[in-house]
Amino acid sequence: MRLRLAVLMFGLILVGAGCSGLQARGPMVATIDEKAAIADVQIIVLDKGEMTEEQARQALAENAATFQLYREAKTLNLFAYLFSDKTILVNATYSQLLDRTSILAATTLAISPSQDGIWVKATAKKQARVVLDVKAAKDGKESAP
Amino acid sequence: MTLEELKLKLGPDLLPWAEKYGPTILTMGAADLMAFIELALKGDQAAAYAAVLAKMPAGDLLAEWDNAHADWGAANKANALRIATQKEALAAVVSILLKIVTAALGLAVLL
């Protein structure tokens, strides 16, 4: 009995150790990595001043869709994560951050048609940093400044 | 009401929030404010937040992305620290178990 308890405790420690507050499974892992890779390129292109206004507007639309995808895929429930179509397991902090970011991206996209190219490009860069934040969360790493 | 007048009515812990969201809230009409209160009291945080964002000037909305990035950064820092602590705790447990196992195998002298 004691041995079983010890094995159980050790197993729980193993399961809990090193787990991020935001975890992904299946294709969502690759999706988060791919979106972050695109965001990396976007930041470089924006810094060089080589992104057109049209491309920046497209980025806002794609980012809004990405954050909406993350929001719909997330769950706080381990069983839903393991046995349903939910592919992102989060703690309460990350759940709120994904909700907030998705709402912010949707609102940003909604007002973007009335904004000029400078605003759109500045917003695209700030959004790209948050796309990278999501990957950092999944990887259990600190965000880039 | 001005932002300064609003800040005088709030505690010091809310002043940074007043700086961020006060200007927008002060531009909201009575109907919008009532709608926000209703949503917040109903527990529909997402809709309540969206209601404030919808009234935010474009410049403030841009700054809100900085706020979001800062909050993600704080969460990720805490997350990374927690993971590191967990790994250290696991390493300590494994180290103790390794000593016991090697002792049981008569290899303690090698450690």
ipTM of the complex: 0.87
CB A31 within 8 A of CB B92: no
Q: How far is B8 from chain A (nearest CA, A)?
A: 28
- Contact: B73, A115; criterion CB under 8 Å: no
Tens-place pLDDT, residues B76-111: 999 999 998 888 888 888 888 888 888 888 775 555
> Per residue in A4-42, pLDDT tens?
655 555 555 545 556 889 999 999 999 999 999 999 999
| pLDDT at position B105 | 80
Confidence of residue A47 (pLDDT cuts 50, 70, 90): very high
Q: What is the pLDDT of residues A52-70, one digit of tens each?
A: 999 999 999 999 999 999 9
The token pair at A40 is: 């990396």
**CA–CA gap between residue A30 and residue A36 (Å, rounded):** 10
- Mutation pick from B44, B60, B76, B90 vs chain A, by most beta carbons of A within 10 Å, is B76
Our measurement of the distance from residue A125's CA atom to the centroid of its chain's CA atoms, rounded to an integer in Å, reads 15
Half-sphere exposure (Cβ direction) of B10: Cα atoms closer than 13 Å? 15
- CB contacts of B80 in chain A (<8 Å) are 140-142
- Mean pLDDT across the stretch B2-31? 88
Is there a contact between A9 and A125 (Cβ–Cβ < 8 Å)? no
Look at strands A22-24 and A88-90 and give their pairing: antiparallel
CA distances from B105 to A113, B94, B98, B100, B110 (A): 72, 16, 10, 9, 11
In this complex, do A130 and B68 lie within 8 Å of one another by their Cβ atoms?
A: yes
The answer to whether A120 and A60 have CB atoms below 8 angstroms apart is yes
pTM of the predicted model as reported, rounded to 2 decimal places = 0.81
